[in-house]
């Protein structure tokens, strides 16, 4: 299958669904790791077409959602400084910090700009030597290579006015934390294909064996997801716990080795806080000693900010699959995309936003 439409073919989707209905005998809970997968599943109604015995729960794979409040507060403090041009992808501007968001800083006179690539921020720094240019470097293993490239480029150009506020997170330690929780309900994972296209999937093999949990690398189109679900359910029914690849057109076991080399040069593994979840050991990347001069948190002295997340937002439970978005008491009432209380409602990849946008105001279980 070469073209996008072919991954949305209704006849093939029907056949895959029939297969899944035929295979599924036990009760299984599958977690799709990535918010892009969540949106595709809900937008295409795949959750409503599966056998009742298969439940989909939604994982932590949304970069905007997992960025903790304290990092947003750091961004706000940096962006408000008069000599700073603060550059970010658009989604982050709407995420509220403890008091305001980056849009508010901009409307108050701050130079906050939306960029489409971290290299755009490097160019702004090169063209404006009198200003401090800061890029907000968040996200999973997917976005990290471009951010690493931007820092390398800034070093090559000898820029002294470029820095990056880094809050990168890594998927395997998050899956480890989810499976280590006594409350986990996960029987199988649909791993995020774009993350694995960079990192490969060999890192997932010890997790599958240790937790006896199938992990299927999956893409984002309806047929990708149905195929991933079919492979995960088949493993569960056969008592197998392996890593399988349902996204071979983009992913290999080894991944993108040159990108991995770049990442290990620019970044080093650190503990990282996740929104609503707290700190997970070894779950983030920070700038390595060779590139630490570009660390905005050190340059602007914001390492002292330690924000406590408000209790009203249950995004931590949503991101661990412990509740569905519509089980949060604030969902669709105090919290809507127009007045979001948390990042999972703000982000275009957030599970709360998906449930709101596609009308999942009550759970499928409650309507039988
Ligand atoms: S519905 Fe709103 S308050 Fe509830 S978890 Fe989602 S973002 Fe947080």
Residue 175's alpha-carbon distances to 180, 192, 299, in angstroms, are 8, 12, 32
Mean pLDDT of the chain: 93
State whether residue 184 is helix, strand or coil: coil
Best residue among 277, 310, 325, 349 to mutate for probing ligand 1's pocket (most ligand atoms within 8 Å of CB) is: 325
Structure tokens at 364: 């499928």
Cα–Cα distance for residue pair 133/83, rounded to 1 Å: 9
Q: Are 269 and 282 a contacting pair, CB within 8 Å?
A: yes
Structure tokens at 302: 């914001």
What tens digit of pLDDT does each residue of 328-338 get? 999 999 999 98
Which DSSP category does 309 fall into?
A: P
Atom of ligand 1 nearest to the CA of 344: 7
Residue 276's alpha-carbon distances to 146, 263, 305, 333, 354, in angstroms, are 27, 27, 17, 20, 19
- Which pLDDT belongs to residue 176? 96
Residue identifier of the C-alpha nearest atom 3 of ligand 1: 313
- Which pLDDT belongs to residue 114? 97
Q: Are 30 and 55 a contacting pair, CB within 8 Å?
A: yes
What tens digit of pLDDT does each residue of 9-36 get? 889 999 999 999 999 999 999 999 999 9
- Which pLDDT belongs to residue 366? 58
Tell me, in angstroms, the distance from the centre of ligand 1 to residue 342's CA.
Answer: 5
Cβ-based neighbour number of residue 195 at 10 Å: 26
Please state whether beta strands 243-245 and 278-287 pair in parallel, antiparallel, or not at all (unpaired). Answer: unpaired
Best residue among 38, 64, 69, 315 to mutate for probing ligand 1's pocket (most ligand atoms within 8 Å of CB) is: 315
Tell me, in angstroms, the distance from the centre of ligand 1 to residue 48's CA.
Answer: 22
Tell me, in angstroms, the distance from the centre of ligand 1 to residue 168's CA.
Answer: 22
- Average pLDDT over every residue of 237-266: 97
Residue identifier of the C-alpha nearest atom 7 of ligand 1: 342
pTM of the model: 0.92
Task: Please name the helix (run of DSSP H) or strand (run of DSSP E) that holds residue 299, with its range, or none.
Answer: helix 296-299
Residue 368: is its pLDDT beyond 60?
no
Residue identifier of the C-alpha nearest atom 1 of ligand 1: 331
First to last CA, the chain: 36
Cα–Cα distance for residue pair 250/53, rounded to 1 Å: 30
- Which pLDDT belongs to residue 94? 86
What tens digit of pLDDT does each residue of 295-327 get? 999 999 998 888 888 788 898 899 999 999 999
- Which pLDDT belongs to residue 348? 84
What tens digit of pLDDT does each residue of 157-198 get? 999 999 999 999 999 999 999 999 999 999 999 999 999 999
| CA count, 13 A, side-chain hemisphere, 286 | 15
**Ligand 1, CB cutoff 6 Å, lining residues:** 313-315, 318, 325, 328, 330-331, 335, 340-342, 344-345, 352
Tell me, in angstroms, the distance from the centre of ligand 1 to residue 325's CA.
Answer: 7
Cα–Cα distance for residue pair 84/162, rounded to 1 Å: 10
Cβ-based neighbour number of residue 299 at 10 Å: 18
- Which pLDDT belongs to residue 367? 52
Helix runs in 80-170, H state only? 102-107, 118-127, 144-157
Tell me, in angstroms, the distance from the centre of ligand 1 to residue 35's CA.
Answer: 15
What tens digit of pLDDT does each residue of 26-66 get? 999 999 999 999 999 999 999 999 999 999 999 998 998 99
Q: Are 318 and 343 a contacting pair, CB within 8 Å?
A: no
Helices (H) and strands (E) in the chain, counts: 17, 11
């Amino acid at each position: 299958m070469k073209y996008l439409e072919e991954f949305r073919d209704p006849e093939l989707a029907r056949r895959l669904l029939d297969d899944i209905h035929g295979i599924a005998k036990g009760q299984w809970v599958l977690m799709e790791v990535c918010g892009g997968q969540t949106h595709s599943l809900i937008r295409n109604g795949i959750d409503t077409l599966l056998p009742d015995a298969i439940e989909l729960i939604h994982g932590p794979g949304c970069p905007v959602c997992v960025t903790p409040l304290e990092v947003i507060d750091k961004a706000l403090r940096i962006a408000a400084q008069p000599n700073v041009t603060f550059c970010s992808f658009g989604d982050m501007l709407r995420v509220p910090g403890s008091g305001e968001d980056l849009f508010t800083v901009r409307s108050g006179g701050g130079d906050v700009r939306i960029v489409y690539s971290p290299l755009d921020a490097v160019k702004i720094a090169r063209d404006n030597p009198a200003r401090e240019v800061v890029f907000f470097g968040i996200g999973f293993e997917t976005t990290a290579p471009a951010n690493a490239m931007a820092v390398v480029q800034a070093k090559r150009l000898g820029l002294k006015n470029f820095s990056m506020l880094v809050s990168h997170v890594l998927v395997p330690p998050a899956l480890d934390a989810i499976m280590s929780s006594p409350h986990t309900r996960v029987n199988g994972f649909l791993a995020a294909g774009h993350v694995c296209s960079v990192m490969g999937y060999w890192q997932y093999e010890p997790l599958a064996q240790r937790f006896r949990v199938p992990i299927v690398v999956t893409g984002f189109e309806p047929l990708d997801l149905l195929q991933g679900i079919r492979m995960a359910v088949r493993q569960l029914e056969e008592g197998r716990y392996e890593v399988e690849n349902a996204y071979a057109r983009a992913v290999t076991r080894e991944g993108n080795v040159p990108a991995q080399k770049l990442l290990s040069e620019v970044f080093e593994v650190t503990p990282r806080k996740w929104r609503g979840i707290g700190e997970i050991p070894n779950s983030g990347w920070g700038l390595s000693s060779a590139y630490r001069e570009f660390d905005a948190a050190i340059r602007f002295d914001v390492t002292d900010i330690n924000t406590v997340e408000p209790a009203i937002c249950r995004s931590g439970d949503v991101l661990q699959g412990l509740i569905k978005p519509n089980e949060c008491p604030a969902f669709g009432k105090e919290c809507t995309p127009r007045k979001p209380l948390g990042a999972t409602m703000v982000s275009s990849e957030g599970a709360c936003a998906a449930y709101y946008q596609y009308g999942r105001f009550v759970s499928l279980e409650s309507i039988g």
